[in-house]
């Protein structure tokens, strides 16, 4: 029989956040084993519920949600996003510049499909949120990874970005606050990134999904507020700050110099029309979320649950011999490093598969975030404190045994 092959477009697509290790964990669960999941930023399974007022607003609006919305989204939600951009200091945004989607993920893919021709290049951070690399490849583009410097708190290396710009470079992706490292970028650094985009005529793609998940009084500056003369696409959603991953409610805002991008915006509009519209009940949650009580502040403040769990996870992971980590200032993750002398690892996916089978703790290897040095991995600190202690304790015991067998 003739076999049916997957598309060649998928040859360079990687999404190990939900990859082979997750498949193995699912099989283990089916066999009755309990897995502690430190692999994905899905808040609901760990008891982080969406605010009740958002839930109630969706319920009340369900009778109005059976039909398609406008392809860009319902008026009230887009108006709320417009007001939010004004609070952030992003100038010149109108309702026409706002697109609602089934999470930020759908809008990222749409924006890249409208931008990239075969062979075009997109500058993406390393490590990255792997959707950016995957969506670039699926759009026919080539992801070019620029270095974020661990020794400098995982800040982007501006010189490395400049070295990697070619005549084919179309855009620059900035993930701030950062997934997977938890880094938060200064205004000075953001201005440097904007200047690079300005000099080379690049589209700025600002992934700001974690802009409210900040610790120790840190503040976030929207990139669009600093790039008024550079075309900027900002992506955000309800998934993290409002604990509403499953609502699939995200938005994209176009700001900066739109006069140079009429055809590009026309392409975005075409793709928005083709998808008919996004999940309407989720859209009805946006106005209430952005205009209501910001309960995320209770979780990130001193003594708040996310703050406590971040501190605990950092304390436990850095107490393991040969494990170092930049303490995250934002988001839900940290990106520790294994000393390569103490932990000589040839294949990090195979290594963390072994971790899963031996400890029943699920983690994602660094190569899953396009950082293939076999030394890093991402920890999600969403589980309750007892589960974090248990999971990292099991990991510590596994690493102790690994050092005894393999370390030098």
CA 25 distance to own-chain centroid: 22
Burial string for 272-304 (b: 16+ CB within 10 Å, else e) reads beeeebbbbbbbbbbbbbbeeeebbeebbeeee
Burial of 354 (0-12, 13-18, 19+ CB in 10 A): middle
209-259 confidence digits (pLDDT tens) = 999 999 999 999 999 999 999 999 999 999 999 999 999 999 999 999 999
Helix axes 348-359, 385-406, angle to 10 degrees: 120
Spatial CB neighbours of 151, under 8 Å, sequence gap ≥ 6: none
Q: What is the pLDDT of residue 68?
A: 87
Four-point Cα dihedral 169, 175, 179, 183, nearest 10:
120
Strands 333-334 and 323-324: unpaired
What whole-number distance in Å separates Cα of residue 82 and Cα of residue 97?
9
Q: What is the pLDDT of residue 345?
A: 92
Nearest of 230, 250, 215 to residue 84 by alpha carbon: 250
- CA distances from residue 99 to 54, 73, 80, 189 in whole angstroms, order as listed: 20, 6, 12, 28
Strands 142-149 and 155-156: antiparallel
- Check whether the bond before 177 is cis (ω within 30° of 0): yes
- Ranges of residues in the chain with a pLDDT under 50 are none
pTM of the model: 0.94
């Amino acid at each position: 029989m003739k076999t049916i092959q997957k598309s060649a477009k998928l040859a360079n697509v990687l999404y190990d956040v939900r990859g082979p290790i997750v498949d193995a964990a699912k099989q283990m669960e089916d066999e009755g084993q309990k897995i502690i999941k430190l692999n994905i930023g899905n808040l609901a399974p760990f008891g982080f519920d969406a605010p009740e007022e958002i839930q109630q607003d969706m319920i009340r609006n369900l009778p109005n949600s059976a039909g398609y919305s406008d392809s860009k989204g319902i008026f009230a939600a887009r108006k709320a996003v417009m007001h939010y951009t004004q609070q952030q200091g992003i100038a010149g945004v109108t309702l026409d510049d706002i697109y609602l989607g089934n999470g930020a993920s759908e809008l990222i893919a749409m924006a890249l499909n409208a931008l990239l021709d075969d062979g075009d290049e997109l500058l993406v951070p390393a490590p990255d949120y792997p959707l950016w690399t995957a969506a670039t490849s699926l759009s026919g583009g080539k992801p070019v990874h620029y270095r974020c410097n661990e020794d400098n708190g995982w800040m982007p290396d501006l010189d490395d970005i400049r070295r990697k710009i070619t005549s084919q470079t179309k855009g620059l992706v900035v993930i701030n606050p950062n997934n997977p490292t938890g880094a938060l970028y200064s205004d000075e650094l953001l201005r440097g990134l904007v200047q690079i985009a300005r000099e080379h005529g690049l589209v700025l793609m600002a992934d700001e999904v974690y802009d409210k998940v900040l610790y120790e009084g840190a503040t976030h500056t929207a990139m669009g507020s600093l790039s008024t003369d550079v075309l900027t696409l900002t992506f955000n959603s309800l998934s993290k700050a409002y604990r509403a991953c499953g609502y699939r409610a995200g938005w994209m805002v176009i700001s900066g110099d739109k006069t140079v991008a009429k055809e590009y915006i026309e392409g975005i509009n075409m793709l928005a029309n083709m998808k008919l519209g996004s999940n309407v009940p989720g859209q009805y949650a946006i106005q209430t979320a952005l205009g209501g009580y910001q309960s995320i502040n209770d979780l990130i403040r001193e003594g708040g649950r996310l703050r406590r769990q971040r501190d605990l996870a950092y304390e436990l992971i850095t107490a393991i011999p040969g494990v170092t980590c930049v303490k995250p200032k934002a988001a839900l993750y940290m990106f520790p490093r294994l000393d390569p002398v103490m932990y000589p690892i040839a294949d990090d996916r195979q290594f963390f598969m072994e971790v899963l089978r031996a400890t029943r703790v699920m983690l994602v290897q660094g190569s899953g975030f396009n950082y293939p040095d076999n030394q890093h991995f991402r920890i999600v600190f969403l589980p309750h404190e007892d589960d974090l202690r248990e999971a990292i304790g099991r990991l510590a015991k596994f690493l102790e045994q690994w050092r005894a067998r393999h370390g030098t």
